[in-house]
């Protein structure tokens, strides 16, 4: 993954659309307050610090994952961690990047 892809600066719209078409779950790693102010419809809110404890829950979904946050930095951290756990995940960057593809 490129540096820009890691931190949400890359143009990964094609990957986002592909993952969504394949039934990916969107995981928003922002705080509950940030999430309550706006989020991708149908996304799951799992705060970045709670991702390690939620790995088995995420694996049990048996779906590809798109991680999002406010800027792409936290979702980049989550993406790196989840990849190391064997989860098929991409960094969606800011949540608005993904929201525009979800009805």
pLDDT of residue 19: 97
More confident site: 2 or 12: 12
Contacts of 74 (CB under 8 A, 6+ apart): 29, 30, 48
Strand order in the sheet with 25-28: 44-45, 25-28, 65-69, 89-94
Arithmetic mean of pLDDT, 10-26 = 90
Q: CB atoms < 10 A from the CB of 44, how many?
A: 17
pLDDT of residue 4: 42
More confident site: 6 or 19: 19
The CATH classification number of 3-99 equals 3.40.250.10
* Lowest mean per-residue pLDDT among 8-12, 16-20, 22-26, 93-97: 8-12
């Amino acid at each position: 993954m490129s540096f820009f892809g890691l931190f949400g600066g890359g143009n990964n719209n094609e990957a986002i659309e592909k993952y969504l078409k394949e039934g990916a779950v969107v995981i928003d790693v922002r705080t509950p307050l940030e999430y309550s102010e706006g989020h991708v419809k149908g996304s799951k809110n799992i705060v970045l610090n709670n991702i390690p404890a939620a790995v088995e829950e995420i694996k049990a979904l048996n779906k590809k994952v798109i991680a999002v946050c406010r800027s792409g930095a936290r979702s980049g951290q989550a993406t790196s961690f989840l990849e190391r756990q064997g989860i098929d995940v991409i960094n969606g960057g800011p949540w608005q990047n993904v929201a525009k593809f979800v009805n």
